[in-house]
């Protein structure tokens, strides 16, 4: 289903420039942007994936992962084909990097009002725009988010953080939370491994906090690529500088896509990263993609305030947003 895109300008000779993400692609006639899903047709830019998701499921909100946002609830999760990054280690590459023929075969029509209806029927408390990069299906996400908010549903982005400032500000009234994938703290890594840059991601993390969007951060630790102690120290220091209460999810890499011969991340490296984050002052650090304790502990008294088992909640010890034992306030949306 074709829909004219938002956030672009017309140039000479039927050329257009897209301002949805920080790539700012200049797109010639009958060509697509780097994301592969925004095409110049007769001098107008169109999104090719409006209301054409390749995935739609009700997931635990903890799967996003969001641990301090409506814990224990479900989020209706949708994604279209495409991405504005080209990560060699992508763990959802089958849909994020699919070509047009593949996504046409794998997609189905699901209009925004039906997404909201399905979310309500599944007793979800939110809608998550996830699995691939929500920025590239912004028009679909925006229209859905507006309707969701009218029905009392929250909206969540799971994102690489490469959106332009104007689209982010425009969706802010409807966007309640975001998990930002901070892939590295090294510019060369972003350029070589992702076809992006680091600085815009850092700027957007700060902007989201300033806009009042609840933020959690995920870093996939890849052996030999972004796991040096110095880099992890710098990354943790950045998060702490923005807000030491931001939950940081350290995720274990497993071989996939173009990195299918690399070893999985040793658990010792993940534990070391957690130690570095704690030394930097981060209060809530969780290790993902491995079995283990991902409960939330009060930084004031050390007691367990949210007990988790896999993606479920076993028990909570919160009174509103405060620890039941010592009344320390736990940041988040509960």
Q: Three-state SS for 312? A: strand
pLDDT one-digit tens code per residue, 114-171: 999 999 999 999 999 999 999 999 999 999 999 999 999 999 999 999 999 999 999 9
Spans of all domains in the chain: 3-47, 55-293, 295-334
Q: Quickly tell me which residue has 């991405």 as its tokens.
A: 83
Does an H or E element contain 76, and which? strand 74-79
Instruction: Tell me which DSSP letter residue 134 carries.
Output: G
pTM for this one? Answer: 0.96
Torsion sign across C-alpha atoms 20, 9, 145, 321? positive
Kindly give the confidence (pLDDT) of every residue in the chain, 334 residues in length, as a single tens digit, with 9 standing for 90 and above. 789 999 999 999 999 999 999 999 999 999 999 999 999 999 999 999 999 999 999 999 999 999 999 999 999 999 999 999 999 999 888 889 877 666 566 688 999 999 999 999 999 999 999 999 999 999 999 999 999 999 999 999 999 999 999 999 999 999 999 999 999 999 999 999 999 999 999 999 999 999 999 999 999 999 999 999 999 999 999 999 999 999 999 999 998 888 777 889 999 999 999 999 999 999 999 999 998 889 999 999 999 999 998 888 999 999 999 999 999 999 999 9
Give the strand pairing for 8-10 and 16-18.
Answer: antiparallel
pLDDT of residue 16: 98
CATH number for the segment(s) 55-293: 3.20.20.70
Is residue 154 within 8 Å of residue 177, measured between CB atoms?
A: yes
């Amino acid at each position: 289903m074709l829909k004219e895109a938002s956030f672009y300008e017309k140039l000479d000779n039927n050329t257009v420039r897209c301002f949805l993400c920080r790539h700012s692609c200049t797109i010639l006639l009958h060509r697509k942007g780097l994301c592969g899903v925004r095409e110049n047709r007769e001098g107008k830019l169109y999104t090719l994936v409006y209301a054409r998701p390749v995935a739609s499921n009700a997931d635990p909100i903890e799967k996003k992962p969001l641990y301090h946002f409506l814990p224990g609830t479900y989020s209706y999760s949708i994604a279209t084909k495409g991405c504005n990054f080209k990560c060699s280690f992508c763990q959802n590459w089958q849909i994020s990097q699919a070509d047009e023929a593949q996504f046409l075969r794998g997609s189905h029509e699901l209009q925004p009002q039906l997404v909201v209806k399905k979310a309500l029927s599944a007793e979800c408390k939110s809608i998550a725009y996830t699995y691939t990069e929500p920025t590239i299906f912004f028009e679909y996400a925006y229209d859905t988010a507006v309707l969701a908010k009218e029905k009392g549903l929250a909206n969540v982005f799971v994102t690489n953080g490469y959106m332009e400032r104007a689209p982010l500000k425009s969706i802010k009234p409807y966007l309640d939370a975001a998990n930002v994938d901070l892939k590295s703290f090294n510019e060369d890594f972003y350029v070589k491994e992702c076809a992006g840059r680091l600085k815009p991601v850092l700027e957007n993390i700060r902007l989201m906090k300033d806009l009042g969007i609840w933020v959690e951060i995920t870093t996939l630790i890849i052996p030999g690529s972004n796991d040096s102690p110095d880099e992890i120290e710098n990354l943790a220091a950045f998060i702490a500088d923005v807000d030491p209460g931001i939950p940081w999810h350290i995720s274990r890499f497993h071989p996939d896509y173009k990195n299918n011969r690399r070893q999985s991340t040793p658990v010792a490296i993940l534990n070391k990263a957690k130690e570095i984050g704690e030394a930097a002052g981060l209060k809530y650090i969780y290790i993902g993609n491995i079995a283990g304790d991902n409960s939330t502990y009060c930084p004031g008294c050390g007691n367990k305030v949210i007990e988790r088992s896999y993606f479920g909640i076993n028990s909570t010890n919160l009174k509103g947003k405060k620890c039941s034992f010592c009344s320390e306030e736990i940041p988040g949306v509960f």
